[in-house]
Amino acid sequence: MPISTMSANGRLTVPREIRQAVNAKPGTEFLWVLMRDGTIQVVARTVTFEELAGMLKPAPGISVSVEDMNPFR
């Protein structure tokens, strides 16, 4: 099990095997979630919204224009 030690200024180094497992690169963001039981879950945010949006395909036969959406604003 990989272990990190906090430095005097509060910094942690993500262990190499974890960085490799999540394909973390410089600039990768990590989301820290404090769970109710006191444990901490750390999630690497390796996919940007733009990349995620590029993976999605519109539903066949359904299209909505910006003008169609305006009444819902």
Domain boundaries, the chain: 25-56
pLDDT at residue 72 in the model: 65
Residues 18-63: pLDDT tens digits? 999 988 999 999 999 999 999 999 998 876 666 666 666 767 777 7
- Using an 8 Å Cβ cutoff, are 4 and 12 in contact? yes
Look-up: residue for tokens 């910006």? Answer: 66
- CA-nearest of 27, 66, 17 to 48 is 27
The span from the CA of 6 to the CA of 57, in Å, is 43
Total count of residues recorded for the chain: 73
